[in-house]
A = this chain, B = another copy of it.
Amino acid sequence: MKHNFGAGPGILPQQVLQEAAQAVINFNNSGLSILEISHRSPDFEAVMDEARALVKELLNLGDNYSVMFLHGGASSQFAMLPYNLLGENETAAYLDSGTWANKAIKEAKFFGKVNVVASSKESNYTFIPKDYEIPKDARYFHVTSNNTIYGTQIHQFPESPVPLVSDMSSDIFSREFDANKFGLIYAGAQKNMGPAGVALVIVRNDLVGTVERAIPSMFNYKLHIENGSMYNTPPVFAVYVSMLTLRWVKAQGGIKAMEKINNEKAAKLYAEIDRNTLFKGTCAVEDRSRMNVCFVMNSPEQEKEFLNFAKERDCVGLKGHRSVGGFRASIYNALPLSSVEHLVKAMQDFEKIGSSKPELSMK
């Protein structure tokens, strides 16, 4: 068994993979594959409806929100958000907390004005800026709830005088939060919700259709909402597997239960990083992500060695992003506690081997 710490597309529950494989052969006992049925068939309409309902239920969303499953990944939302919400002469406020936040800012500038209220770029995004004011005349305020690359996470969302928008690609459904405080939430599926190829967009209805400009159909939230995410052929399989994953989250006890185990996983791993003489964390302790755990070695020349050591123990996907180096253990919902324990054991064993064989650390 592999322990999959990849940052995304990331690990999915084994049970979901089994059901998905079955559906590729024979979906709902129809004698047809999920890959070759009409998206307008009652069987698939039911999948789409259930996926939408599960999002609403798991997040306790009020009736004033619409849920969409769209093509294009999270990156398309960097553009669709301002396309739909930001007038040419209006300003949107953004928090610059990482590479993805930065890309979101870049795309917003195609559509309107951007006010970056704070940035931790100068410190290589090792912390979440907290000392800022949100301009009251901004159209919305955009934050990245979890910075996948740098391993930081907003643990306390700001009170915002304007609609709060969040890219939650790498921590949606991983912890409790009040979704009804947000104007819009989006997430690529491929970390905590499903496979690559679909993005989730949740929007408060009063924000839709407020901008002046003409919007081409496929970029227009209003049309997607009116058509139940079937304005065109949706990414059928990605929606199906997302629905199965959401069912799985619910069966585990919902987000409350996910948060509990995620906290336990993160606590164990950070404790070992701090305790172990070979490793150290890369970012501000108070902003540490409970989804993407970034760490390095005190002796960087040992990192390759540890990566191989871990790989021999079936820990994969641990290599850190080039912007940070070292290691990144993504511990998404589907990653079991036992995988974290397995990694912690590897770190401990490596420490022992390292100290008993001093020549190793001098390589």
Contacts and interface: CB of A to CB of B under 8 A. Distances in A.
Interface string A215-229: 111110000000000
A35 B72 contact: no
Contact of A79 (B1, B33, B217): B217
Complex copy number for this chain = 2
Could you tell me the dominant secondary structure of chain A's interface residues?
Answer: loop
Interface in A10-59: 10-12, 17-18, 20-22, 24-25, 30-33, 35-39
B36 A25 contact: no
Contacts of A38: 6-9, 317
A232 B36 contact: no
Interface stretch (A134-142, A190-198, A281-289, A349-357): A190-198
Which interface residue of A6, A197, A198 has the most chain B CB atoms within 10 A? A197
A363 interface: no
B316 A110 contact: no
A113 interface: no
A157 interface: no
A35 B270 CA distance: 28
A194 B231 CA distance: 20
Given A73-B232, A79-B216, A218-B78, A35 B12 contact: yes
A190 to B, nearest CB: 6
Contacts of A218: 72-73, 75-76, 78-79, 107
Contacts of A83: 216
A129 interface: no
Given A21-B24, A218-B78, A37 B6 contact: yes
A241 B235 CA distance: 13
A72 to B, nearest CB: 4
A316 B30 CA distance: 11
Given A233-B196, A241-B35, A316-B32, A107 B216 contact: yes
Given A25-B17, A38-B9, A195 B236 contact: yes
Nearest to A213: B110
A307 B234 CA distance: 27
B9 A233 contact: yes
Given A196-B233, A218-B78, A219-B79, A36 B12 contact: yes
A36 B4 contact: yes
Contacts of A110: 214-216
A196 B70 CA distance: 12
Contacts of A236: 9, 195-197
Contacts of A232: 73-76, 188
Which interface residue of A24, A31, A32, A217 has the most chain B CB atoms within 10 A? A24
A238 interface: yes
Q: Lowest 4 A-B CB distances belong to which pairs?
A: A197-B235, A75-B232, A79-B216, A21-B24
17 contacts: A2-B31, A6-B37, A9-B36, A9-B233, A11-B36, A12-B33, A35-B196, A71-B71, A72-B76, A75-B217, A78-B216, A103-B217, A107-B218, A110-B215, A196-B237, A197-B234, A235-B238
